[in-house]
Amino acid sequence: MASTELVLAGAKVVTPQGVLENGWVQVRGTEIAAVGTGPAPGPATDLDGRWLVPGFVDVHCHGGGGGSFTSADAEQARTAVATHRAHGTTTMLASLVSAPISELVEQIRALRDLVTAGLLAGVHLEGPFLARSRCGAHDPDVLRPPETEAVQRLLEAGDGAVRMVTLAPELENSVPAIRQLVAHGVIAAIGHTDATLADVAPALAAGATVATHLFNGMRPLHHREPGPIGTLLTDQRVTVELICDLVHLHPSVVRLAAEHAGPGRTVLVTDAISATDAGDGTYRLGNLPVTVRDGQARLADGSLAGSTLTMDAAFRNLVVSCGVGITDAVAAASTTPARLLGLGGVTGSIEPGLAADLVVLDEQLQVTGVLKDGSWVQR
């Protein structure tokens, strides 16, 4: 049960207005009641100069702790959520990989109750409407164009739980599918695509607003044919996902993208699989076997297959290795993804009236405490 009142004081509090030195946050019930600097209002827990940031929001995650969202097993999903919460992720989408429509329907239905209960913020379908030539760790045999009937079956299975769908805009019927998704309040994302610039423009005009793990799983940027990357990175309507594990992207590329898109369009994601926090070994991502060695997840051919990244590590990498300032890093890890999901008035910032989703970080940006809705889940 959430504390009736809790005050965290003596912290560097990162707010939308900047960093509050010697700051404090008052939590009442499940919400942030007040934020300030100087002497705390009443008895307080002294954070001794540590950082206090909003809970992380991950819009692209396949599992963790040995649990996979593709399993159609609610307990595995709970394990994955708990694993990432311990690393500061207080809000997340459950990402599914490409599979036959009937299997996806089953998986969505298994996750629907967890969305209703508030454990998950929704479901992200990464496929099956992807390009075979850029399928990455998706089974090419189940990929297909986004026919209207197939899209409708998936939306009906979720009954509002499906929040984002990634597709390749060059596929037949992709533009009508994007309009269909947007009409149902679903975020249309562009990814795993061999699209040219000419393919991307109508998709954006139809309402696509997200680049799924920019650079990865798409035609590369070329100075005479910018492909999808040039448009997605420069179009102000598009929010770009970045996997900041320093494996999927070089730090200089992360910095380039984050600086160009700015904090309002940059979103950190993990793309984490079940192997996260579960050690090296052999796992499955959908129907494909994945080998994890030294924390890197790969298919038999050497292709990357998601990650073992957590949001606290992504945040730390962004600041320490990529040189992004901590306020912009908070925007990318919390504020901007919350806004993307339509939750900007609920979570993602340290402001009165928002959920008391908070992460305490030490000077090395390691997690030392996590609150979800005013209750400690890691301390």
Q: What is the 3-state secondary structure (H, E, C) of 295-338?
A: CEEECCCCCECCECCCHHHHHHHHHHCCCCCHHHHHHHHHHHHH
* Tokens 């030490």, residue located: 362
Helix (H, G, I), strand (E, B) or coil at 155: helix
For the chain, the 3-state helix, strand and coil shares in percent, each to the nearest 5, are: 30, 30, 40
CATH number at residue 206: 3.20.20.140
192 annotated as a binding-site residue: yes
Kindly state whether residues 20 and 94 are assigned to the same domain: no
304 annotated as a binding-site residue: yes
pLDDT at residue 1, as a whole number: 38
Q: Does residue 271 carry a catalytic annotation?
A: yes
pLDDT at residue 378, as a whole number: 83
What are the phi and psi torsion angles at 157 (to 5°)? -65, -35
Kindly state whether residues 162 and 311 are assigned to the same domain: yes
The one-digit pLDDT tens for each residue of the chain (379 residues) are 344 799 999 999 999 999 999 999 999 999 999 999 999 998 999 999 999 999 999 999 999 999 999 999 999 999 999 999 999 999 999 999 999 999 999 999 999 999 999 999 999 999 999 999 999 999 999 999 999 999 999 999 999 999 999 999 999 999 999 999 999 999 999 999 999 999 999 999 999 999 999 999 999 999 988 899 999 999 999 999 999 999 999 999 999 999 999 999 999 999 999 999 999 999 999 889 999 999 999 999 999 999 999 999 999 999 999 999 999 999 999 999 999 999 999 999 999 999 999 999 999 999 999 999 999 998 8
Kindly state whether residues 24 and 149 are assigned to the same domain: no
Report d(CA 44, CA 28) in Å as an integer. 13
Kindly state whether residues 324 and 366 are assigned to the same domain: no
Catalytic residue chosen out of the listed positions 58, 199, 245, 271: 271
Domain that holds residue 370: 5-53+350-378
213 annotated as a binding-site residue: yes
Our count of domains for the chain comes to 2
103 annotated as a binding-site residue: no
173 annotated as a binding-site residue: no
Kindly state whether residues 26 and 117 are assigned to the same domain: no
Kindly state whether residues 13 and 121 are assigned to the same domain: no
305 annotated as a binding-site residue: yes
Kindly state whether residues 84 and 205 are assigned to the same domain: yes
Kindly state whether residues 82 and 189 are assigned to the same domain: yes
260 annotated as a binding-site residue: no
259 annotated as a binding-site residue: no
99 annotated as a binding-site residue: no
Kindly state whether residues 226 and 357 are assigned to the same domain: no
Kindly state whether residues 96 and 238 are assigned to the same domain: yes
pLDDT at residue 379, as a whole number: 86
Contact (CB, 8 A) for 212 and 189: yes
pLDDT at residue 134, as a whole number: 95
CB atoms within 10 A of CB 236: 8
Report d(CA 137, CA 321) in Å as an integer. 27
Kindly state whether residues 177 and 29 are assigned to the same domain: no
CATH number at residue 373: 2.30.40.10
Kindly state whether residues 47 and 141 are assigned to the same domain: no
Q: What angle do CA 172, 175, 180 make, to 5 degrees?
A: 115
pLDDT at residue 287, as a whole number: 86
